[in-house]
Amino acid sequence: MTDLSMNDLMKAKVIGRTEIEDLVVVPLFAIIVALLLGAVAMLATNVDLGTIGLSYLALLKGSVGSLNAISETLTAAAPLVLAGLGLALGFRAGLFNIGAEGQIVTGGIAAVITGFSFAGLPTLILLPMSLLAGALAGALYASIAGFLKATTGAHEVISTIMLNLISYRLLDYLLRMPAIQKEGRADPISKSVPEAAELPRLLSFLDPNLRVHAGIFLVLIAVAIVYWLLFRSKLGFEFRASGENAEAARFAGIHSSVIIVAAMATAGALAGLAGANQVLGVLGRATPGFSAGLGFDAIAVALLGRSHPVGVLFAGLLFGALEAGGRQMQVDAGVSIDLIGIIQALIIVFIAAPLLVRAIFPWGFRRDREGGS
């Protein structure tokens, strides 16, 4: 179902004039139109013009307007980029992995369990160990779907959706186990992660409320590694070859089963890391539904970033900024943060359908070009 529909995402890019239009002009138009349509949605729900202006100011202020705002943006962007990188890698290999959510859950809970189980160890050992546990758990969980696809042909879209649903129940169950549940609590909540396992906050010397944490370095390293893996390594070449044309890749001597499992495991490791990043950097513990739909937002981020590591980074930052700004908007203007969901969806529509943007703004582009990307 997906092998060929993903082709557009995987075409090699050559930077030219039309590429610049696609990479710069289209996103700009997309954001402007999405914001305008967001305003229309607010008007339709009886929000007056003054409040609309106020809410967009708050959106700007809350995302980049202050040090705290930038810190919040980065904090919100980190897990989206990590999980988005994993999904992008899967898309490149022709796998439509919807399971980031489940991999975030398993990665997060594994990181928490490792964190409080070895509470005595120093940060230098415990933190990497917890992160690694998260990545491993995510990788193992994702490889279930990869293994099933490779051996029996079970479609990864279905198996990953089912694994997501299973992971929620598994989390609920684990959080009630005596060894994991916080002492003296009746509700499902895990023990807290010791300080030694937390991702240190970077700017707490300026203001203890600044939440930005060392996870952003993790993100940058992950972007670099995924870039190298995809475009500079043999494995990455095999991923992309299988994604472009599985049959041809097989005749070229690439073991498709191995590639499927490897791609799913790598994607799962990154999503698991995103989960670990959340529990070790932001939440400090695991609660039911701590993944908060990150895995689904990450699909949008990966698509918006056109499955390119750098694109994913920027898309994640944009989504993080909208998330952080949306919270400010809710506080300042009393407009529900759910408006952000509408704006995010519209941005993706316009970016993913350049033909549509060209149809709306014919004057923004060169005339002599027919067709889209």
Partner 1 sequence: MTVINGPTAGTKIDTGKQRQARITGFILLGIAILITLFFAPDAAGNATFRLSRPTDAIPVPNLVVPGGPFIYVAATILAFLGVRQFLHGGTKWTSLSLGIGLAIAVAAFLVWATAGKAFSLTGMLQATMVRAVPIALGGLAGVLSERVAVVNIAIEGMLLAGAFTGALVGSLIGGFGGLAAAIAVGGVFGFILAALVVTYRMDQIIAGVVINLFVLGFTSYVSSQVFAEYRSLNNAPVFRSVKIPILGDIPVIGPMFFNQNIFVYGALIMVAVATYYLFHTRLGLRARAVGEHPRAADTLGINVYRTRYINVTLAGMVAGFGGAWFTLGSVGRFDEGMTGGRGFIGLAAMIFGRWHPVGALAAALVFGFADSLQQKLALLQTPIPSEFLAMAPYIATIIVVAGLVGRARAPAADGKPYVKE
**What residues make contact with partner 1 under the rule CB under 8 A?**
1-6, 8-9, 41, 45-47, 96, 98, 148, 151-155, 157-159, 161-166, 169-170, 172-173, 299-300, 303, 335-336, 338-346, 348-349, 352-353, 355-356, 359, 372
CA distance 318 to 309: 14
Q: What b/e readout covers 174-186, taking b as 16+ CB neighbours within 10 angstroms?
A: bbeeeebbbeeee
Name which of 10 and 283 has its Cβ closer to partner 1: 10
For residue 114, give the nearest of 291, 283, 279, 282 by alpha carbon. Answer: 279
Q: How far is the CB of 46 from partner 1 (least distance, A)?
A: 7
Q: How far is the CB of 173 from partner 1 (least distance, A)?
A: 4
- Which run of H or E residues covers position 324? helix 309-333
* Both structure tokens of 276: 């670990």
Q: For residues 65 and 372, which CB has a smaller minimum distance to partner 1 in the complex?
A: 372
| DSSP calls for 187-254 | SS-BPPPPGGGSPPBSSTTT-TT---BTHHHHHHHHHHHHHHHHHHSHHHHHHHHHHH-HHHHHHTT-
* Short-list 268, 282, 315, 136, CA closest to 215: 282
Task: Please compute, for residue 228, the number of CA atoms within 13 A of its CA located in the half-sphere on the CB side.
Answer: 6
The amino acid at 272: G
Which CB, 207 or 247, lies closer to partner 1? 247
Looking at residue 256, its amino acid is S
CA angle 3-311-306, nearest 5°?
25
Q: Environment class of residue 18 by beta-carbon count within 10 Å: exposed (0-12), middle (13-18) or buried (19+)?
A: middle
Q: Which two three-digit tokens encode residue 310?
A: 């750098």
Q: Phi, psi at residue 190, to the nearest 5°? A: -85, 165
- Shortest distance, position 84 Cβ to partner 1, whole Å: 13
Q: Please say which residue, 5 or 233, places its beta carbon nearer to partner 1.
A: 5
Concatenating the DSSP letter of every residue in 64-87 gives HSSHHHHHHHHHHHHHHHHHHHHH
* CB contact at 8 A, 93 and 109: no
**Torsion angles phi and psi, residue 202, rounded to 5:** -85, -30
